[in-house]
Structure formats: C-alpha cells, structure tokens
A and B are shown apart, each in its own frame.
Chain A
Amino acid sequence: MKIKINKEKTVMAIAIGISCFALMLVMFMQFKVVRQTNITEIETMRESELRAELTSWQEKYKEINERYQEITNTISQYQNESESDQQTAQLLEKELEQLNLALGKTDVEGQGIIIALTDNEGKQIDDRLVDRIYPEDLLLVVNALFGAGAEAISINDQRIIAMSDISSIGDVFLRVNSERISSPYIIKAIGDITYLQSAILGKGGCIDQLKEAGHDATVTEGRRIEIEKYNKTIRTDHID
C-alpha cells in the first residue's frame, strides 16, 4: 500500500516537474523575444532620429549653398566694378546695409505677431495674489520666438540684439538695453506667423503659463509689423 502511494506520488511529481519546466522554458523564450523587440524599438526610434538628422543636414547644405552663391557673386562684382571708386563704394554700402539689417541697426517691417502682456501683480485671484512678471518670463518668450525663426524682435520698442539682456530694476520695472520699461509689455516679432504662434501658444506654452499665473496676454498677427532699430552703439571694445 505504502509503495503504491509513493509510486503515484512520484509519477505526479515528475509530471508536475515536466510541465513546470516546459512553462518556464516558454517564459524564458518569451523574455528573450521581448528583449530583442526592445532593441528593434530603439532601432526604429533611431530611424526617425536619423531621418530628422538627414533633413537637417540637407537644409543646412541648401542654406550655405545660397550664401556661397551670394559671396561668389559679390566677389565677381568687386572684380568687375572696382574700376571706379563710386561703384566700389556702392558695393560696400550694399554689403553694409545687409549687415546692419542683421545687426538690428535698421528699422524693419514684415509679417509677424504682436504679444501684449499686462502685469497683474497684486490682483486677487481665488485665494492668492498674482506675482509680478519677471525678466525670465520675457526671456522665455523671446527665446521661444527666436527658436521659431523670428528675424527681429522688440520689447516696448527696445530692439533685441545679440547682447541685449533683460533684468529688473527694483520690484516694478524691467530693463532692456539699459532702458527702463514697464507693463504693458509689447513684444513684436517678425517671421513666419504660423511658426511664431505655434511656438508660444498652446497648452503649457509660455503665454499659457503667464495667463495661468494671472496676467493678461493677447496675441495678434499682422502683415506689416514695424520694429524699430537699435539706437545705441554696439560695443566691440574687448573683442579682437
């Protein structure tokens, strides 16, 4: 009797053992497959990255190619027209004009957007008081606009150039290009209207955040936005 039970038990144990083993095997196989597919997932991710990389290099090539044509063109103009000083002067002026446009030393006009921000500091909303607009808030807007391809930006008619900073004076005023400005802040940007808008609007965008903080913000688009030039000397005393 005892032996019989034992036999039954061993058979059962072996059967269970085998089925457990088989199940484990299947699981391990699956684990392996999963690990492999994870790798291919990264590979496909890389693929989209690679695609973006490729278009970016192609676009860059196109850009410098245009610039290259422009320069070779100017070179040949200098070679052909350097006979008279008057023509040379004209060429120089033309080059300088283009550079001054890039520097922000000319008034410019073009399509773009105008953002109006009103600082609601101290206003009661629900059970909190609205905080002020900080320089960082405007920096974020300006940065986002340049990121979207803005070609010229001004805040309260202070043109933003390469070395323009935004800081605060006391608790009320901000300072751009060493000039005091105050709310409402009017930020003008020239560039592709759709790009500019999509860079700052939308949930979690910098305009949304300013509204969330309790400030008033409006964005309008315009076909002919005028932006004033930088009216000071751009200093290059320390760079050679």
Chain B
Amino acid sequence: MNNKKVISFILGLMCVLLTYGIVVQVKTINSTGTTTSTNAKANELKDAVLKAKEKYDNLYRELEQAEKNLEEERANATQNNSELSELENSIKEANKALGLTEVTGKGIEIVLDDNNKIPLNSWALDPNILIVHDTDIMTVVNELKNSGAEAISINDQRIVTTSAIECDGNVIKINGVKIGAPFEIKAIGLQEVLINVNKVGGYLNYLKEDRFLEVSINKVDEIKIPKYTGVMKFEYAESK
C-alpha cells in the first residue's frame, strides 16, 4: 500500500513536469510565430542587394575613369602656363590631403586583435576586456594623429575629416562600412615619431598589458594607403 502511494506520487510528479515542459514549448513556439514565406523573400532580397551592389560597382568604375579624365583635362588646360599649373598643383595637393587619392610613404603598421587565446569559461573578469572596441580604435587613431600621421587607414578605410568610428552590434563601422577584427591600422608620417605610440604609458601598451589584446607594431618603409571611396558632400555648410 505504502509502496503504491510512493509510485503514484512519483508518477504524478513526472506527469506534472512533462506537462510543464510541453506548455513551455508550446508557448515558445507561439511567441516566435510561424513564418513560412521568409525564405523566398530573403532570397529575393539577397538578389536585390547583389544587383544594387553591382550597379554601384559599375558606376564607381566609371567615376574613377572620369576622375582620371578630369585630371588629364586639367593638365592639358594648364600645361603652358606656370600660374595655371601652380593652381593645378594646389588641387592635387588638396586631393592628397583630403584622402581622395591613394598615397604611399614610410610609416608604421599596427595590427590589433581580440584575445582569442584565453578561454572565456576560465575568465572571471568582464569578457569585454578581451575584445577590441570602437573606442579603442578611436583612441589609437587619435594617438597616431598626435604623432604626426598624415594619412591613416583601418582595414583599408581611409580616415578623412568626417570619418566616424561606430559600433554596430558586434561589428565596427568606419565610413559607414562594416569591418571586423583583426584591425590593420596603417599610418604614414615621420616613422621615428609615429613609433612613439609604442611607448610605455601609451594606449597600445595598455591594450597589450592590461587588456591582453594581440598588438603588433611595425615600421614599414613602403606603405600604401587607399583613397576614400565615399563622397564628400556639403548640404549645410557654406563657405563665407
């Protein structure tokens, strides 16, 4: 009799647990909702995105060609006049400073990566410490500017006046383009001064020693930094 009671009690408990499990599951399904046609829609969208990108790429190639043509026209129009060719030279210099041309020169290359070696389950502190953040890149770029950099790029995104380094979920956006770790930061300038970002007490040193990030800094004699591929537009600001 006693034995039976125990058995029925256990059975009852099991039933309750199982029913509970089922109820939870049903609820989850209801809340996620059924979407059957998403696949087709997503594929259509993917196609549309690819087409839009291709259209952009094609026009961008034409734009680059037009930029070359303009340069030639300018050179033609100014070749026999020293005053005019001086103006032409100013335009070239301005484009260079703005980041609208690909540039080369001596400088340094920094590679910044998350710490992928420490397993997160054995890490008692905040795991965010081990990841490169937008603000880290911002600070490194600021230090490079402070060390006299004349051109900077991060994963081939040229830093121009209006470049923002933004956080978008778990990716970083520069010039509106998504980039991810490892971050390759290139800077052209006076090498001996640029390499100062290496010094103890500097931000890169902090990232290496206190944040355990992967940091490598190298002097490179021939660095190529690509041009800015966006458009500099002025809708609100007017020259006075």
The chain A residues found within 8 Å of chain B, CB to CB, are 16, 20, 23, 26-27, 30-31, 33-34, 37-38, 40-41, 43-44, 46-47, 50-51, 53-54, 56-58, 60-61, 63-68, 71-72, 74-75, 78-79, 82, 85, 88-89, 91-93, 95-97, 99-104, 106-112, 135-136, 139-140, 143-144, 146-147, 149-152, 160-167, 190-192, 226-227, 234-240
Contacts and interface: CB of A to CB of B under 8 A. Distances in A.
B189 interface: yes
Given A89-B87, A151-B235, A53 B39 contact: no
B176 to A, nearest CB: 7
Interface of B: 11, 14, 18, 21-22, 25-26, 28-29, 32-35, 38-39, 41-42, 45-46, 48-49, 52-53, 55-56, 59-60, 62-63, 66-67, 69-70, 73-74, 76-78, 81, 83-84, 87-88, 90-91, 93-99, 103-107, 135, 138-139, 142-143, 145-146, 148-152, 159-166, 176, 188-190, 225, 230-240
Closest 5 CB pairs of A and B: A147-B164, A165-B145, A57-B52, A99-B94, A30-B25
Given A146-B163, A235-B148, 10 more contacts: A53-B49, A68-B59, A89-B84, A99-B98, A101-B234, A139-B138, A140-B135, A143-B165, A151-B234, A152-B237
Nearest to A149: B162
Given A64-B59, A165-B145, A239-B151, A41 B32 contact: yes
Contacts of B240: 106-109, 226
Nearest to B190: A238
B239 A107 contact: yes
B98 A240 contact: no
A93 B77 CA distance: 13
B235 A96 contact: no
B21 A37 contact: no
A64 B150 contact: no
A91 B148 CA distance: 33
A95 B91 contact: yes
29 contacts: A34-B25, A40-B34, A41-B32, A44-B35, A47-B45, A61-B52, A64-B59, A64-B63, A68-B59, A78-B76, A85-B84, A89-B87, A92-B91, A99-B94, A106-B240, A108-B238, A110-B236, A135-B142, A140-B138, A146-B162, A165-B143, A167-B146, A192-B236, A235-B150, A236-B93, A236-B150, A238-B106, A238-B189, A239-B96
